[in-house]
Amino acid sequence: MNAQSEYLTNHRTNDEGANGLAVGEAPQPTARPHHPAVKEEPPTQPPRLGRIVFFLFLVVAAALTIGLLPRLRERKQVAEDTRDLATPTVAVISPAPAKMTEPLVLSGELRPVIEASIYARANGYVRRWLVDLGAHVEAGQLLAELDTPEINQQLSQGQAELTQAEAAAQLAEVTAKRWKEMLQAKTVSPQEADEKVSDLALKRATVEAARANVKRLNELVGFAHVTAPFNGIITARHLDVGQLVTAGAGQELYRLAQIDKLRVFVHVPQNYARSTVVGQPAELTLPEAPDHKYDAKVVRTAGALDIATRTLLVECEVDNPNNEILAGSYGLVRLTDAHPEAALTLPASTLIFRSQGPQVAVVENNRISLRKIKIGRDFGSIIEVLSGVTAADQVVTVPSDSFADGIEVRVAEPAKTTAQNAEAAK
């Protein structure tokens, strides 16, 4: 207790001595000495306060950023989700042609590429024939000889008439020359002289006529030799020795054919006519050799349908170098590239039935366009579309009844197939 009292007494005494005041006495202001040359500076704010304010601003800004950014992001996501939910997603399909049928197979008639019936041009009897059925002949080869006695007599008569006409013309020429001389001497009249000159012209014309008749008869005598007009094979013979042959009677002596290349005639139905063009490949099969196929080619078409059958006559050519194919037979011609003109088809689920008629929803620039269509045949799940859409259009597979023109839609991506997934993995 005494020690504590002594500590307090000493402490108070030290304070009084330091301040020069008694305890409880207010201090008096001390007069500062006046220095007129020294300017007093105002008190400055400590730099710590500015740093504190800047730090607080950063804290507030960080708090605002951390709090507002998620809210803004969530609000933007909600707006996008709302817009996506408001835009319907549709699956589309393009119209496709109907499934192609099997290639067209038609019966065809095989004929030689060149064929001619040989007739007589002169009357007579068959003296001899030199080639028979199935013989190969060359162009100009002698086939048969005819005995033409009547033509020979006509030729002799014609030659005699030609000689007579030439003699008459020679006499008329001498007479006309003399009358011209007498006319110059004025011993005959001009009329008589002109008559002699005209008679000379008449005799000369008679000579030309007789000469032409002799030439014609010589050619008829030449027709007594029946020759081949081209290389080929004799497919028919209708003459024998001693047989009477009359020109112009339609009596066939030989039939000659060139069969190293054959023509095949087929009648194509109307719905295949437009797809059958020149140069199109074809295949020929024969009933006696169904396993063997011959390459053929369309070389020409009639260009018009037969009114009676509504078919197009088409000519094909097939090579026959070894004479394997017999001319005159028939075969089956397969036109591989000839197909009927198929209409576009769509699934039945794409149809929209309204008062305007059947319609489909076509997507154009992510907007719906309703189009009226004309329906063909109905195959159940598939229908034919005759008009209204093209193969390049995108048609909604299952349209909604609320669809109208201009509605914005989103096209769903088609599902990838197994092959596409494998390709993407590579």
The pLDDT of residue 34 is: 46
Q: Taking residues 49-61, what's their average pLDDT? A: 74
Q: Supply the pLDDT for residue 340.
A: 62
What residue type is assigned to position 211 of the chain?
R
Judged against a pLDDT cut of 90, whether residue 184 lies above it is answered with no
Averaged over 171-199, what is the pLDDT? 86
**Which is higher by pLDDT, 226 or 418?**
226
Helix (H) or strand (E) holding 297: strand 289-305
Q: Give the 3-state secondary structure of residue 74.
A: helix
pLDDT digits (tens, 9 = 90+) for 246-283: 988 888 999 999 999 999 999 998 888 888 889 999 99
Residue intervals in the chain for CATH 1.10.287.470? 149-223
For 338: left if phi > 0, alpha if psi spans -120 to 50, otherwise beta; the answer is beta
Per-residue pLDDT band for 301 (boundaries 50, 70, 90) equals very high
User: Which residues contact residue 300 at a Cβ distance below 8 angstroms, ignoring those fewer than 6 apart?
Assistant: 278, 314, 315
94-115 average pLDDT score = 82
What global pTM score does this model have?
0.53
The dotted CATH code for 149-223 is 1.10.287.470
Q: Which two tokens stand for residue 299?
A: 């070389």
pLDDT band at 14 (very low <50, low <70, confident <90, very high): very low
What is residue 20's predicted lDDT score, i.e. its pLDDT? 43
Give the angle 225-228-231 at the CA atoms, nearest 5°.
Answer: 160
Q: Which of 287, 301, 391 is nearest to 338 (CA)?
A: 301
* Residue-wise burial string across 187-225, b where 16 or more C-beta atoms lie within 10 A, e elsewhere: ebeeeebeebbebbeebbebbeebbebbeebeebbebbe
Contact between 298 and 312 (Cβ < 8 Å): no
Q: Tokens 């050619």 identify what position?
A: 219
pLDDT band at 190 (very low <50, low <70, confident <90, very high): confident
The secondary structure of the chain in percent helix, strand, coil, rounded to multiples of 5, reads: 35, 35, 35
| Residues 356-366, mean pLDDT to the nearest whole number | 89
Question: Long-range contacts of range 290-298, CB-CB < 8 Å, 24 or more positions apart?
Answer: 294/318, 294/319, 294/325, 295/319, 296/264, 296/333, 298/335
pLDDT band at 114 (very low <50, low <70, confident <90, very high): very high
Place of tokens 């047989």: 243
For residue 9, the model assigns a pLDDT of 47
What pLDDT is stored for residue 354 in this prediction? 86
The CB density around residue 353, as the number of other CB atoms within 10 Å, is 9
| Options 3.40.640.10, 2.160.20.60, 2.40.420.20, 3.10.129.10; CATH of 90-97+342-415 | 2.40.420.20
Give the per-residue pLDDT at 384.
85
Tell which wins on pLDDT, 421 or 328: 328
Q: In this structure, what are the phi and psi dihedrals at residue 155, rounded to the nearest 5 degrees?
A: -65, -40
pLDDT band per the 50, 70, 90 thresholds, residue 420: very low
Decide if pLDDT at 228 tops 60: yes
Beta bridge partners of 383: 346, 378
One-letter amino acid of 139: A
> Which amino acid, residue 423?
E
pLDDT of residue 159: 93
| pLDDT at 62 exceeding the cut of 60 | yes
Question: Residue by residue, what is the 3-state secondary structure of 221-259?
Answer: HHCCEEECCCCEEEEEECCCCCCEECCCCCCEEEEEEEE
pLDDT tens profile 130-180: 999 999 999 999 999 999 998 889 999 999 999 999 999 999 999 888 888
- pLDDT at residue 87 above 80? no
Residue ranges, comma separated, of all CATH 2.40.420.20 domains in the chain are: 90-97+342-415
Q: In the prediction, which pLDDT does 36 show?
A: 47
